[in-house]
């Protein structure tokens, strides 16, 4: 099999229609190969479905007029599908496919596909007589399908690597969304149904670089307050920041990785404890308090033996100039409840020995035994 053929011309050459068509075909083939092989297909811009409330002049019932907004999609063959202006969905076209169904709350899928439309010849007739059309409109078609047909999108297979643009193009379905139907009119438009929604274009790359020394990854095309962002910066200090956008457009950092590897987080750190690791928590507690578990350890893990607890308590003896205070009890029961009692004797107050509730400093260690291979 030969590679792509690039047209070449020389002085005095008689140009046939095939020579000029080859020039166009060469450029089209290069463009669709790039779009098909360097990108993931889907909606590139626009093409959202919007609704306007209307009233049926005969029945007086309210319904929704559904409009597909202008936009651009790239299908799985690498072809651009341009919708240059908003288009109102045709209820007659919908009825031709699904009109036999009764009213249903289940949404119906709406698809976009490419369509070529020949245009009449322009200019004077050639010496050889009337020819075919000299223009082909790269247009589109909006299709309605049955319940569940949205899953056909995942079954579509792209053409071979060296395939030229199909002529006429093979039908490739781009899901726009779903409409609901009451048996007479559309009643709503929804972006997703039955776990399937529109697909958007992507890029296939092992390296993504930024010319401004800052690379941002966000969930929407435009900056929006409260939405997440991941920002990799090279100056003034190299850093990796995850946070939420503020109203000013800056990112409020929730997690920052410094050049030396230090990690700074605004919230708490938690996670599943792994084999061989130790988590700890410490502090002070008074008699009757339940000691906390280290962050990342659940009571269920302790109860079923996946995590072993080691608890250390040290009674806190208050200072006294004339008396003596000793711990009578400093323990922790099976519910991690502290039992601390202090006995005091002060000859300056009286001969009696008193007993009061005390407090302790505690250390709680949570451990999981390391496995010896495969565990």
- The three-class DSSP label of residue 135 is strand
Contact yes or no for 252/243 (Cβ under 8 A): yes
Same domain, 82 and 101: yes
Over residues 243-262, mean pLDDT: 92
Tokens for 298, please give them: 């659940």
> Pairing mode, if any, of strands 62-68 and 49-55?
antiparallel
pTM of the predicted protein model: 0.68
Domain count, the chain: 3
Taking 90 as the threshold, does the pLDDT of residue 149 lie above it? yes
Over residues 275-287, mean pLDDT: 87
Q: Say if 115 falls within a structural domain.
A: yes
Taking 50 as the threshold, does the pLDDT of residue 281 lie above it? yes
251 Cβ contact partners less than 8 Å away, ≥ 6 residues apart:
229, 231, 241, 243, 244, 245
Mean of pLDDT over the chain: 88
Same domain, 106 and 182: yes
Q: Which has the minimum average pLDDT: 3-17, 169-183, 295-309, 361-375? A: 361-375
- Domain encompassing residue 221: 213-265
Over residues 124-138, mean pLDDT: 68
Q: Say if 270 falls within a structural domain.
A: no
Handedness of CA 281, 282, 288, 289 (dihedral sign): negative
Tokens for 182, please give them: 């009451």
pLDDT for res 41: 95
Over residues 243-271, mean pLDDT: 86
Same domain, 44 and 103: yes
Q: Say if 48 falls within a structural domain.
A: yes
Same domain, 61 and 185: yes
Q: Say if 208 falls within a structural domain.
A: no
Max mean pLDDT range (32-36, 155-159, 189-193, 315-319): 189-193
Contact yes or no for 218/228 (Cβ under 8 A): yes
pLDDT for res 375: 42
pLDDT for res 136: 84
Same domain, 217 and 101: no
Confidence of residue 43 (pLDDT cuts 50, 70, 90): very high
Q: Say if 126 falls within a structural domain.
A: no
Alpha carbon separation from 208 to 34, 102, 202, 205, 239 (Å, rounded): 17, 51, 13, 7, 17
Q: Say if 80 falls within a structural domain.
A: yes
Half-sphere CA count of 102, side-chain side, radius 13 A: 0
CA dist 222 and 241 (Å) reads 18
Where are the extended beta strands (E) located within 147-211? 174-181, 186-190, 202-203
Q: Say if 145 falls within a structural domain.
A: yes
* Bridge partners for 71 per DSSP: 46, 83
Tokens for 244, please give them: 């939420």
pLDDT for res 340: 95
Q: Say if 177 falls within a structural domain.
A: yes
Top-confidence residue, 138 or 143:
143
Q: Could you tell me if residue 88 is left (phi over 0), alpha (psi between -120 and 50 degrees) or otherwise beta? A: beta
């Amino acid at each position: 099999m030969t590679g792509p053929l690039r047209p070449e011309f020389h002085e005095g050459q008689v140009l046939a229609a095939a020579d000029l068509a080859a020039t166009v075909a060469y450029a089209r083939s290069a463009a669709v190969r790039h779009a098909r092989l360097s990108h993931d297909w889907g909606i590139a811009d626009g093409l959202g479905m919007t609704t306007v409330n209307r009233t049926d002049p005969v029945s007086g019932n309210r319904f929704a007029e559904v409009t597909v907004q202008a936009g651009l999609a790239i299908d799985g063959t690498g072809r651009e599908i341009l919708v240059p202006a908003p288009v109102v969905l045709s209820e007659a076209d919908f009825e031709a496919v699904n009109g036999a169904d009764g009213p249903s709350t289940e949404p119906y899928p709406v698809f976009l596909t490419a369509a070529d439309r020949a245009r009449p010849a322009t200019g004077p007739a050639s010496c050889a007589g009337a020819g075919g059309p000299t223009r082909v409109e790269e247009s589109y078609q909006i299709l309605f399908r049955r319940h569940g047909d949205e899953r056909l999108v995942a079954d579509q297979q792209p053409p071979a690597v060296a395939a030229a643009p199909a002529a006429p193009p093979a039908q490739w379905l781009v899901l726009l969304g779903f409409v609901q139907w009451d048996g007479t009119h559309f009643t709503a438009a929804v972006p997703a149904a039955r776990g399937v929604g529109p697909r958007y274009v992507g890029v296939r790359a092992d390296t993504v670089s930024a010319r401004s020394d800052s690379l941002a990854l966000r969930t929407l095309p435009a900056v929006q307050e409260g939405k997440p962002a991941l920002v990799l910066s090279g100056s003034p200090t190299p850093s990796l920041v995850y946070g939420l956008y503020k109203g000013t457009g800056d990112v409020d950092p929730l997690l920052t990785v410094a050049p030396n590897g230090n990690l700074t987080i605004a919230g708490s750190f938690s996670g599943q404890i792994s084999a061989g690791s130790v988590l700890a928590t410490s502090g002070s507690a008074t008699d009757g308090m339940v000691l906390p578990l280290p962050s990342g350890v659940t009571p269920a893990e302790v109860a079923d033996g996946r995590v072993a607890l080691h608890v250390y308590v040290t009674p806190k003896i208050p200072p006294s100039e004339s008396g003596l205070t000793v711990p009578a009890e400093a323990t922790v029961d099976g519910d991690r409840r502290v039992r601390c009692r202090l006995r005091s004797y002060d000859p300056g107050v009286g001969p009696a020995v008193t007993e009061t509730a005390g407090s302790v400093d505690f250390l709680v260690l949570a451990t999981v035994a390391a496995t010896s291979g495969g565990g």
